[in-house]
Amino acid sequence: MTYGYTLTFDGSSSATAVPELIVQTVDRDLLPAVRDEYIEVPGYVGSFLFSEVDGDRQLLMSCQLIASGTSERRTAVRALAQYLRKSSTKRLVISDEPDRFWLAKIVSGIPVTERQARGSFQLQWRTSPYAESISTYETSVTATAAPESFVIDVGASQVEVEPIIEITATETSSDGFALTIGGVVLDYAGSVSNGAVKTISCRSATVVTGAYADIELDTGTFAGAQLDMSSVTGAFGVLGGDGGSTITLSRMTGRMRVVWRELYL
């Protein structure tokens, strides 16, 4: 019988790495950290609100270690320390929501109350503001005229997503292209040959040569890619809102593969 929650952290299941671990409760922030600032000015009624984007979240887990004896408990404590110790955020999946992950890292030293074969403690995590879908979603469109617009529906995502777009040119364009994403214009002024591929990542605000959407979504990096930012101006947009968002390709025809992960509150 399985008790409590099972964690998968950095690709490793707690049931395998530390089978003695029982996660009894999980406390999740209802919303990401609210970073708004209110300024009160003498002589004015109320205050001025300076709204800010969402901050990180906190997860708090009440846990026990149940081993077969004192030495086994100490071995389990050391195995848990090794399991949790990371130098950067990693994917954290909690078993009651197996379809999504948080980017998370432990933020405290975790005092453990140890008694005979048992240990009790709390795990405090700092996580990304939103959970991300483990599955990736995509749609492909072809611009046969320039400019040409397409409505992209990001499905069940509760928050605007930062897409990664692979553009394969179907003609040579000496003055590049413009890509409008959700009303925000990104301009690439370099020459693009027929058949050339550019990957535009709104997640990392990066343009590279070649098809790298899947690599970035899987690893978080553009390993081996050639950075191509010298001809880029403008900004990277987001997709979301009722009815989706519009992507427009200008100054060049081409095939576009739009890839994203859904985001959840």
Predicted confidence (pLDDT) at residue 243 exceeds the cutoff of 70: no
Question: What CATH number does the domain containing 127 carry?
Answer: 2.40.30.200
Does the pTM surpass 0.85? The reply is yes
Question: What is the C-alpha end-to-end distance of the chain, expressed in Å?
Answer: 31
Predicted confidence (pLDDT) at residue 244 exceeds the cutoff of 80: no
116 shares its domain with 147: no
Q: What is the DSSP secondary-structure string of 167-183?
A: EEESS-BTT-EEEEETT
End-of-domain residue from the set 92, 115, 131: 131
Mean pLDDT (whole number) for 199-209: 94
- The answer to whether residue 125 is domain-embedded is yes
Q: Among 18-32, 198-212, 240-254, where is mean pLDDT lowest? A: 240-254
- The answer to whether residue 1 is domain-embedded is no
Q: How many domains does the chain have?
A: 2
- Please state, in angstroms and rounded to a whole number, the distance separating the CA atoms of residues 60 and 95: 15
Question: Which of 227, 255, 239 lies closest to 166 in space, CA to CA?
Answer: 255
- Residue pair 200/173 in contact (Cβ under 8 Å)? The answer is no
119 shares its domain with 152: no
119 shares its domain with 170: no
Where do runs of H (alpha helix) occur along 148-264? 213-219
Q: Kind and range of the H or E element at 101? A: strand 100-106
User: C-alpha 222: how far from its chain's center?
Assistant: 15
Q: How confident is the model at residue 225 (pLDDT cuts 50, 70, 90)?
A: confident
99 shares its domain with 56: yes
**What pLDDT is recorded for position 1?**
43
- Please state, in angstroms and rounded to a whole number, the distance separating the CA atoms of residues 119 and 66: 7
Domain limits at 238? Answer: 137-264
97 shares its domain with 154: no
Q: What's the chain's average pLDDT?
A: 93
**What pLDDT is recorded for position 85?**
95
- Please state, in angstroms and rounded to a whole number, the distance separating the CA atoms of residues 265 and 132: 9
